[in-house]
Amino acid sequence: MTDLAQLQSKALAAISAATSMATLEELRVAQLGKKGVFTELLKTLGSLPPEERKAQGQILNVAKQAISDAIEARAEILKIAEINERLGKEWVDVTLPPRPMYKGTLHPVSYVIDEITALFAEMGFAVAVGPEIEDDEHNFTALNFPENHPARQMHDTFFLKGTGNAKTLLRTHTSPVQIRTMQENKPPLRFIAPGKTFRCDSDMTHTPMFHQVEGFVIDKGIHMGHLKGCIETFLRQFFEVDDVPIRFRPSFFPFTEPSAEVDIGCSRTGGELKIGAGKDWLEVLGCGMVHPNVLRNCNVDPNEWQGFAFGMGVERLAMLKYGIPDLRTFFESDMRWLKHYGFSALGGAL
């Protein structure tokens, strides 16, 4: 009996001294495993006289249970210790600010495109896109620019490879998206197409790359009244001035007939530009009724379908709405400029 008590207390001492799960497992095998101390002791019961066997068996089982409980309890403690150790080692302080601390902003061009898209979405316009590398066919010919017409030169085109209609170029406006959309879809159509455009021109008010938003509607019975209503609704909402005067001035584009340029009223006092009723006018976009030749070029019957189109410069609208004085600063990637004129990703000025 003393033997058993000794064996038990030695085993318990070893268990509570175990510092790893591996040692604990070794102890379990040594004590309770198939060839463990207590398993061997149980085997000796058979040789005892029956009256002693029961009492001795009970004592042994109690001791075995005590050891098994101790192993379990120790395993619990070791597991928690192991987790705590890992937590200590692998801990990352997610509350630390990133270094260097810089909060990004939305570029005014992206923000204004989002604003324009949202306003036209309310009027049922979808969004279309087209390639920045175009061909002569889509950028000019299908848009009713006659061969050798001075308008082709007027655009200061960056020509790439090829000849004739297949000659590739950087698109000079977003109007080729009109052609692509009509070639791929049947009317009625109502979409805007924002994107980059390119002209070989660089001074205070021109950059070789700039952004336009094209607008395009084809349906039955469309007339100039629809065009005027659409443009006026957009401009009043965009500039957030309900009574801003709007003027349609006759103009020329090969792909629209009649064509107009649209001005909004403004005043310049003390070097400050204010959109709204005033003495001055500012040109904001070009527009017109889609030329029947353009419809024919895309296999749309002009006797059945009519439409209007408009195109506006994104940077110009951004400059007017947000009082940004110099166009070239848009593309200088100056962090101070971006911080000042950028917008919070969650909407609104910073």
Residues that bind ligand PHE (CB under 6 A): 173, 175, 214, 253, 256, 286-288, 309-311
- Of 260 and 266, CB closest to ligand PHE: 260
| Least distance CB 251 / ligand PHE (angstroms) | 8
Residue nearest ligand PHE by beta-carbon distance: 311
Q: Give Cα separations from 348 to 1, 10, 103, 235, 343 (angstroms).
A: 84, 73, 15, 19, 6
Least distance to ligand PHE, CB of residue 172, Å: 7
Q: How far is CA 21 from the centre of its chain?
A: 49
> In the complex with ligand PHE, which residue's Cβ is closer, 8 or 181?
181
Q: Which ranges of the chain does DSSP label H, i.e. alpha helix?
A: 2-17, 21-32, 37-43, 50-90, 108-122, 136-139, 150-154, 176-184, 224-239, 292-297, 314-322, 335-341
The C-alpha atoms of residue 312 and residue 323 are separated, in whole angstroms, by: 17
Which one, 310 or 330, has the nearer CB to ligand PHE?
Answer: 310
CB-based contacts of 201-204 (< 8 A; 24+ apart in sequence): 201/156, 204/326, 204/327, 204/328
Comparing CB distances to ligand PHE, the nearer of 30 and 151 is 151
Task: Return the number of other C-beta atoms located less than 10 Å from residue 164's C-beta.
Answer: 10
Of the two residues 256 and 306, which places its CB atom closer to ligand PHE in the complex? 256
CB of 310 to ligand PHE, least distance (A): 5
How distant is the alpha carbon of residue 53 from its chain centre?
A: 79
Smallest distance, ligand PHE to C-beta of residue 255, A: 6
In terms of CB distance, is 133 or 154 closer to ligand PHE? 154
CB of 279 to ligand PHE, least distance (A): 26
DSSP, collapsed to helix, strand or coil, labels residue 151 as helix
- We find the least distance from the C-beta atom of residue 307 to ligand PHE, in angstroms, to be 10
Q: How many CB atoms lie under 10 A from the CB of residue 21?
A: 14
CB of 346 to ligand PHE, least distance (A): 33
Sequence-distant (6+) residues with CB within 8 A of 50 are none
- The helix/strand count (H/E) of the chain reads as 12, 10
Closer of 8 and 256 to ligand PHE (Cβ) = 256
